[in-house]
Homo-oligomer: A and B are copies of this chain.
Amino acid sequence: MFYHTKRLQYEAKPEQPDAVYAHKLQELIGGAWGEMTVTMQYLFQGWNCRIEGKYKDMIMDIATEEIGHVEMLSTMVARLLEGAPSDQTAKAVQDPALAAVVGGMDFQQAIVGGGGALPSDSNGYPWNGRYIIASGNLLADFRANLTAEAQGRLQTARLYHMTDDPGVKDMLKFNLARDTMHQNQWLAAIEELKKDGVEDTVVPDDLLDEEHREHASSLWHLSDGESSDQGGWAGGTAPDGNHEFQYNANPEPLGGMASAPKPEDHLYATYS
């Protein structure tokens, strides 16, 4: 069960409205790597966690924090939209700066949201549940989380350079810092899983003997670039300590012809 305080985790006050930036900021709310994603991903992971204690408790701590990030960004968007020229017709525009705004606004923020944030990304595409993963396997999921915080900080950093508003930048400095923390946090948690002996390097930590081991270590050179054999992935011991990388320089297919069986008559697949 959850409780809410009306105060924001961190301040979200722009110095001035900026409707085009409000459009761009939608990416951090409803984009594939936005705050709705980490909110829902961490919540579902916490609820799906099968091992009680520190892992689950930590996941729920950060999940709960992320709801507040959606709140901060939505608040910022509404404030950036104050006085947005949504009722301005194009033909009346006489100023290039206004022209950029009239062309670059998110029309739905006005028509649908009444000047508020939307659960969508910067191209107006709605957030959806296929963005998240809660597989029950903590190593697989912590890697997903590390990715999310990395892509999230990358996008935040890009957006940091797209504004010069001190209020916006102040909030983004908080967001950047949290994303730094959270990258470190998931990296530490991945180490902890190994230290605790519950997961190892390869996900899942099983079937390593059943799988065709002769194919578990070779890079198939299927594109004619000249340099793919020059990386650490083409030779030496693999990170799992259990395989020696190999380079398959002239790969040939191992299987037979791709083909599909004779069709059932009632399906009318072409056959003769």
Contact = CB atoms under 8 A, between A and B. Distances in A.
B47 A256 contact: no
Interface string A142-181: 0110110011011101111111100000000110111011
Interface in A1-51: 1-13, 18-21, 23-24, 27, 30-33, 36, 40, 43-44, 46-51
Given A48-B116, A82-B261, 19 more contacts: A1-B65, A7-B258, A47-B117, A51-B270, A53-B227, A58-B234, A60-B225, A111-B159, A137-B150, A157-B204, A157-B207, A158-B266, A173-B212, A176-B207, A177-B215, A184-B238, A185-B219, A198-B271, A203-B268
A101 to B, nearest CB: 5
B199 A270 contact: yes
A97 B231 CA distance: 45
Contacts of A33: 112, 133
A18 B90 contact: yes
Max chain B Cβ within 10 angstroms of own Cβ: one of A11, A207, A225:
A225
B58 A233 contact: yes
B254 A10 contact: yes
Given A78-B260, A211-B176, A203 B127 contact: no
Contacts of A106: 123
Contacts of A133: 32-33, 112, 151
Contacts of A82: 261-262
A112 B57 contact: no
B61 A30 contact: no
B1 A68 contact: yes
A105 to B, nearest CB: 8
Contacts of A87: 161-162, 264, 266
Contacts of A143: 143, 146-147, 150
B8 A225 contact: no
Interface string A226-264: 111111111000111001010000010111111111111
